[in-house]
Structure formats: C-alpha cells, structure tokens
Amino acid sequence: MTQPSDKALVPFVSVDHMMQLIHHIGIEPMLCGLADYIESDFKRWELFDKTPRVASHSAEGVIELMPTSDGEVYGFKYVNGHPKNTAEGLQTVTAFGLLADVASGYPVLLTEMTILTAMRTAATSAMVARHLAPKGADTMAMIGNGAQSEFQTLAMKAICGLKSVRLYDTDPAATAKCAANLANHGINVVSCASPEDAIEGAQILTTCTADKQYATILTDNMVGAGVHINAIGGDCPGKTELAPAILHRSDIFVEFPPQTRIEGEIQQLDPEHPVTELWKVISGTAKGRTSDRQITLFDSVGFAIEDFSALRYVRDQLPPTGLYHPLDLLADPDDPRDLFGMVHRAST
C-alpha cells in the first residue's frame, strides 16, 4: 500500500482530543475565544449562505444537518435530538462537524461536536447577554441543571462577570450534580427548591430543559421587569418553555427568523409578531436593551453559523497542539482520473 498524500488526510478531533484541547486552552479562555469568533461572524452575517437546518423527524427524535458557508469555508454539523435517550444511558444530543475548503471541496477538519456544541451554545448565550442583559447583572437563575448548565454558567461568568448562580431542576440529583461540578470555579452557587426561589434576585433567567413538549418552565407572574431571559431549551416544533404572556411582555431577539419561527418559543406567537435579528444588534444597526425596566428575551434555537464559528476556532487553535489524528478519509490517486488504478494497485 502507498501512503496517502497530505491532501487525502483530514485532521480529526476525537472526544478525547477535544477534552484535552479544552484543558490545554482552559475552559473559560476557550469560552471567551468562541464568543469572540461567534460575535465576529454575527457582524458579517449578511455574507453567509443561510438555510434552515435540514431535519429528519421520527417518533423518537430528530436528526439534523446544519450547513453554512462564508464563500471561502463551508461547514456543517450533524446533530441529533432524542429526549428519551437519557433513560437508556445515551446523550440527548450528540454531534460532529466538518469544515471544507470552498475552492476545492476538500474537507479540512472533522471533529466531535457534542462537547463543542455545549461550549458554543454557552458562548453564544453569554455573548448575547453581554449585549442585552441589564447593566451590572451578576446573578443568574439556571432552571434545568442538565448537560448544558455548567457550560452556561461558566460562560456567563467569563464573558459577563456573573458572580452568583441559583440552580433549580425538577430532579434534585441534577441540581446536586451541577452544584458539585461548579464548586471551586470562583462562583457563588445556590441550590434552590423551587423555580420561584431560583429567580429571586436574578437579572438573567436561563431556561434549559429537555422535554419534547409544550411546557411552562416560567409562568407570567414569575418574571418581573428589568431581566434578560436566555431561553435555550425550546428548540424544535412542539417544544417550548415559556408562557405566551411572557413573550408578549418581552422584546424578542432571535438568530435566524425563518428557523426560530418554526423551532423557538415564538412558534407560540403570530408569524408576524415583531422580533429583532441579533446580528443587527451586534453590528450596531438595531437597538438592543433600551431601558432598565425592559424584559429582553433571547429565543435561542442554535444556528449553523455558530457551529461554523466554533469549527473555525478549533481549526485555528489546533495546529500547534497536535491534538488530532490525520484521518484517511479522501481517495487521492496520483492521477485524479485513475481512481480504478489506485484501487487495483492496492491489492498488490
């Protein structure tokens, strides 16, 4: 067998290498770095190729492909969402992603994205909160203490200066897990027995629950003036977390309206209900928070450009670390027209 050339070998970041990369960079510096990459891509939002994700729904969940391109680099993520998986010891969400060179179509990076998606989702939430949360916000209610909760909390600490997090989950074991994981991270952690207790004194309310159904994690009377709501968990048709009355009292900010209208909290509203696109706030062409009393709501569903930013970040950080394997993914015959000859000679 002949050795494949460099062009045929795609750097692959395994789960183990991704964990090593996070420790190599440091989790908070990496969250800040991801937020910077995401913010810079939101600023050049208009030049991206944007399509709603390509979803394949089944009774058990959904498998999605999320492609985008900035004209030079193409990226996509494979991601599933299967709420019942946890009962069988599997992840609700697993993901991997790929970057490719637009000029040649050749992939340049393949990476696990289960962990990276948690990192980019948290970095996006915190980057958005930096633009929308009331000045001096330093306390967050974290409702839903599952796989995303620690990442969300540390991103808010690193990027927005969060000092205190108030945890609540319908399952006290989830809260205990989250509190234990956040110990010794320089943040004050308060475990709460009710959602009402959790939101006490919080200027940022993050909801991140996983049921695939219409749920009401926050009721209207729980949400006072002058807060920022970071609604992470409602992200597919039929899955929401907020009472409609809260939406009517809020100024709503979204990633990509055609997708959020289908998947986000605003699926509960009239399709003409006004929303503001986040990229306009971040690039300075639309207003974000305009008063201390306003309720701002980030109706987060996750968009392909955020994954693209995360893939770019990993590609840029990776080379000096050596934290990847070269994967023999692409057939690369000496003569590109002689694919058959390459196969044939492999037998000898």
Active site residues: 235
Q: Residue from 16, 196, 200, 316 that binds a copy of itself (CB under 8 A)?
A: 16
Q: Could you tell me the two tokens for 287?
A: 């207003």
Residue 133, classified by CB atoms within 10 Å of its CB into exposed (0-12), middle (13-18) or buried (19+), is buried
Q: Residue from 28, 49, 138, 211 that binds a copy of itself (CB under 8 A)?
A: 49
Could you give the string, one character per residue 281-320, with x where binding to a copy of itself holds by CB under 8 A and - elsewhere? Answer: ----------------------------------------
CB of 295 to a copy of itself, least distance (A): 29
Scanning 99-107, 216-224, 240-248, 300-308 for contacts with a copy of itself by CB under 8 A, the matching segment is 99-107
In contact, 87 and 73? CB cutoff 8 Å? no
CB of 133 to a copy of itself, least distance (A): 23
Binding flag, residue 103, a copy of itself (CB under 8 A): yes
Binding flag, residue 248, a copy of itself (CB under 8 A): no
Residue 25, classified by CB atoms within 10 Å of its CB into exposed (0-12), middle (13-18) or buried (19+), is middle
Report d(CA 337, CA 26) in Å as an integer: 46
In contact, 87 and 103? CB cutoff 8 Å? no
Scanning 55-63, 214-222, 247-255, 266-274 for contacts with a copy of itself by CB under 8 A, the matching segment is 55-63
Residue carrying the six token digits 């070998």 = 9
Closest alpha carbon to 245 in 229, 262, 263: 229
Residues 201-230 that bind a copy of itself (CB under 8 A): none
Scanning 141-149, 276-284, 294-302, 308-316 for contacts with a copy of itself by CB under 8 A, the matching segment is 141-149
Report d(CA 260, CA 274) in Å as an integer: 12
Q: Residue from 25, 28, 32, 94 that binds a copy of itself (CB under 8 A)?
A: 94
Q: Could you tell me the two tokens for 171?
A: 């399952």
